[in-house]
Amino acid sequence: MRLGVLFSGGKDSCMALHLTRETGHDIACLLTVLPRNPESFLFHTPNIDWTAVPHLTVESDGKKESEVEDLRRLLALAQERFGIKGVATGAIESVYQAERIQRVCAALGLWVFNPLWKRDQTEHLRELLTLGFEVLVVGVFAEHLDEDWLGRRLDSPAIEELISLARKGIQPAGEGGELETFVLFAPGWRQRIQVTDCLPEFSLGSGILAIHSVRRLPP
Amino acid sequence: MKALVISLCSELLSEMEFVTPLVRIARHSGYLVQLGRVGEVTHARGFDAVLLSGTALQDFGYLDQMGTLSWLRDFPGKVLGVCAGMQVLALLHGAELFDCEEIGMTEIHSESASPLPERFEVYALHRKAVRGGKLEVLGSSARCAQVVKVPGMEHFGMLFHPEVRNPELVSALLGRLK
């Protein structure tokens, strides 16, 4: 099926992209709603060439109540330009997120695929590692995740540490909004990303890693 | 105890969403689980329970496969049909489908004789609901029957997706049915 993949550059949307490809679907485009005012490494970073798939974006006006309309515009545009029949997402737990996407897609007659839905978060993290994903922590927004986590790779010790934080209320894969990630490499990508200039910004218990420039390397 | 989980999904990518979570819950409920696919499974001899999965909102391919599931009507063990699975179960017992879309959290009121909680919140994701047939309705949303039972058998249907917010209902049902 000809599909678009909702894409943030983080680990979950990249895993959804991987699974969509692995199950034989034709990935027509990556789809992103851009914040108008991104502080946002994720969206400033020139990521279009990572995966050899066209990247379609629409700009959000940043208002909460417009989120659904922003998504509808993006998906309608993808239908028109790329002829997509459905959408894949990296949703794992959020009923709020899943419901909005289901509603918009139902109205547009699009299929929805949530291949990570209800996935065990511990297994999810370990599978990322097994499959060769290289993932950087670029945002922390919870107690027990201090500024030392910014810029940290999700390697085996980091993942085990996140899993051990579950008993302190941290959802290991960050489904509670505890952390944001940025994927440097994933299976099937034709380039590997190296961050060449970044700055951690941490205050009042939360922070981001602002990525200012990257270099693309052969895989 | 052995359970056969039958995928009603037309697409493999949907199975990760609608089948894998059911497999996990059945395993946690103490069952050895085997996976089958609609159109390929012709019986469930040797199994104690059969679970029928849901499908993507646009996926009605299972309706073309109804003939391959007629054996379920007389399956002596336990059956739980989720969403599309409940529709299949209901159709096998003379019900009909009608257009009824619910997407998102909704409240269910259960009948007084039901073993379910009196009221509970569930995640619904369907475009069709069932009516009629030889079914006992155990719980309903404001729009339609959400939990049904085949009288005299341990065959249940849940139109909502218990794997999302109510996995304990599946475990309890499988446990109770033991």
pLDDT at A38: 54
Q: Nearest Cβ partner of B13 from A19, A102, A103? A: A19
* Spatial contact of A192 and A140, defined as CB atoms under 8 Å apart: no
User: Tokens for A156?
Assistant: 């085996």
User: Is 60 exceeded by the pLDDT of residue B30?
Assistant: yes
* Residue A113: Cβ within 10 Å count: 27
Q: For residue range B111-161, what is the model confidence (pLDDT) as tens digits? A: 877 788 899 999 999 999 999 999 999 999 999 999 999 999 999 999 999
Average model confidence (pLDDT) across chain A: 88
Are β-strands B145-150 and B155-158 bridged in parallel, bridged antiparallel, or unpaired?
A: antiparallel
CATH class of B2-177: alpha beta
Q: For residue range A72-107, what is the model confidence (pLDDT) as tens digits? A: 999 999 999 999 999 999 999 989 989 999 999 999
A164 at the B interface (CB within 8 A)?
Answer: no
Domain spans of chain B, in order of start: 2-177
Q: Which of A115, A103, A102, A118 has the alpha carbon at shortest distance from A175?
A: A118
Are β-strands B119-131 and B145-150 bridged in parallel, bridged antiparallel, or unpaired?
A: unpaired
Q: Which of A216, A148, A214, A134 has the alpha carbon at shortest distance from A179?
A: A148
pLDDT at A44: 42
Q: For residue range A164-182, what is the model confidence (pLDDT) as tens digits? A: 988 888 888 888 888 999 9
pLDDT at A215: 86
Amino acid identity at A25? H
* Chain B residues near residue A19 by CB distance under 8 angstroms: 13, 16
Are β-strands A2-6 and A86-88 bridged in parallel, bridged antiparallel, or unpaired?
A: parallel
Interface confidence, given as ipTM, is 0.94
pLDDT at A24: 96
* Chain B residues near residue A106 by CB distance under 8 angstroms: 57, 101, 103, 127
pLDDT at A41: 46
In sequence order, what are the beta bridge partners of B147? B139, B158
Q: Average pLDDT in the B70-84 region? A: 96
Rounded Cα–Cα distance for residues A6 and A13 (Å): 7
User: Is 70 exceeded by the pLDDT of residue B4?
Assistant: yes
Contact across the interface for A95 and B165, Cβ inside 8 Å = yes
What secondary structure does DSSP assign to chain A, as a single string? -EEEEE--SSHHHHHHHHHHHHTT-EEEEEEEEEPSS---HHHHS--TTSSSS-EEEEE----GGGHHHHHHHHHHHHHHHH---EEE---SS-HHHHHHHHHHHHHHT-EEE-TTTT--HHHHHHHHHHTT-EEEEEEE-STT--GGGTT-B--HHHHHHHHHGGGGT--TT-TTS-EEEEEEE-TT-S-EEEEEEEEEEEETTEEEEEEEEEEEE--
Contact across the interface for A23 and B101, Cβ inside 8 Å = no
Domains of chain A from N-terminus onward: 2-113 (3.40.50.620), 121-217 (3.90.1490.10)
Q: For residue range B13-29, what is the model confidence (pLDDT) as tens digits? A: 999 999 999 999 999 99
A111 at the B interface (CB within 8 A)?
Answer: yes
A89 at the B interface (CB within 8 A)?
Answer: no
pLDDT at A216: 84
Q: Which residues of chain A fall short of a pLDDT of 50?
A: 40-46
Average model confidence (pLDDT) across chain B: 95
- Cα of A122 to nearest chain B Cα, Å: 14
pLDDT at B33: 97
Which contiguous run of DSSP H or E holds residue B157? Answer: strand B155-158
